[in-house]
Amino acid sequence: MKFIVSSSVLLKQVQGISGVLNSSNTLPILDNFLFEIKKGKLSITASDLETTMVAQLSVEAKEDGLIAIPAKLLLDTLKSFPEQPLTFTIDKDTFGIEISSDYGKYKLTGQNGAEFPKTPKLDAASNIKIDALILANAINKTIFASGNDELRPVMSGVFFELNETNLVFVATDAHKLVRYTRTDLKAEKASSFILPKKPLNLLKNILGNIAEEVTINYNETNAMFVFGNTTLICRLIDGKYPNYNAVIPVENPNKLTISRTAFLSSIKRVSIFSNKTTHQVRLKISGSELNVSAEDLDFSNEANERLTCQYEGEDMEIGFNSRFLIEMLSNLDSDEINIAMSAPNRAGILTPTEKAEDGEEILMLVMPVMLNN
């Protein structure tokens, strides 16, 4: 088996799928890329059993075949070449691989490609098409709010809720929640699934750079994302997602409007002086003045800042974890934000004052922390 391929094209494809590889695998063959040639098309597969990515490219090849090539060795080799054609010659009996370049020859030993786990097939799948930038945006805006608790796996991913009127993406870790809605997209029939963090991060890194549609096929157990010459298949998180709408307070009479960047900068400065375990910052609002403060009694550190704002409602004092506020404010785009609150022990709701684009709605919820008066 022999094929010729451009070094830079091959590098781009293997780098794109290399994020799937784990540093320690239960099956040694998963430390390899599977190279499979069919009718002049090369398919490269990387898998960790839960997530599989396949990239396709055209090569010059006379015959079909497959071989598992050590991933790290191949990546390191390709990174060291300038653009040039490379010739791969594979011995089907010994799985020996010889790469010929303009500079010389390099030999390595592969493994039997037939032993590589088969890519899952999706039976009885539904599908939907979403613009790549919209999907990347939905992942970017939600993934930071997903949890890391192994005891609650359903919260460790992003919930995709596909409705006949809109698409909703939700992430929560019980302390903070983000609901990202697209009113300009809809599904033929209502369904939902929870996508794990690893494939979400892989998609996030790739989708931001491509301008085309992504086809999502999904059934009860797996989801498949197809875009360009790349396919990503992953196992879904099994379980029922919590009723997120139930935790979003409806009556929030106290409304604060403030410059997002000024508020974010203030919290970043003040939080340096907060307690290192609670990260608590205190917001005291009265009239058109917001007082942001933090203290660490163990070290007698404290900070205080005054900001001007627009406020409708009763004077109030409420405490939040500054890290959550910083994450949320960093993931909003608008110049000004609204914070709606009902009481010091009820969640605060952050929304942008103006939409970044038509069809997009975003709501962020953060639980307060008890103030020690």
pTM of the model: 0.92
Q: What is the pLDDT of residues 300-337, one digit of tens each?
A: 999 999 999 999 999 999 999 999 999 999 999 999 99
pLDDT at 373 over 70: no
320 touches 256 (CB < 8 A): no
Q: What is the pLDDT of residues 39-86, one digit of tens each?
A: 999 999 999 999 999 999 999 998 999 999 999 999 999 999 999 999
Q: What is the pLDDT of residues 337-348, one digit of tens each?
A: 999 999 999 999
Round to whole Å and give the CA distance between 3 and 9.
Answer: 14
What are the structure tokens assigned to 99, written together? 């790469």
Label residue 56 exposed, middle or buried (CB < 10 Å: 0-12, 13-18, 19+): middle
pLDDT at 372 over 90: no
pLDDT tier at 150 (50, 70, 90 boundaries)?
Answer: confident
Maximum pairwise Cα distance, the chain:
81
Q: Could you give the domains of the chain?
A: 2-115 (3.10.150.10), 126-245 (3.10.150.10), 249-366 (3.10.150.10)
Residue type at 321? N
Provide the pLDDT for residue 224: 97
Q: What is the pLDDT of residues 24-34, one digit of tens each?
A: 888 999 999 99
Provide the pLDDT for residue 153: 93
pLDDT tier at 208 (50, 70, 90 boundaries)?
Answer: confident
How high is the mean pLDDT of the chain?
A: 95
Mean pLDDT along residues 160-186: 96
Provide the pLDDT for residue 230: 95
Q: How many CA atoms lie within 13 A of 123 on its CB side?
A: 0
Round to whole Å and give the CA distance between 113 and 67.
Answer: 4
- What residues contact 48, with CB distance under 8 A and at least 6 apart? 20, 21, 22, 25, 30, 198
pLDDT at 356 over 90: no
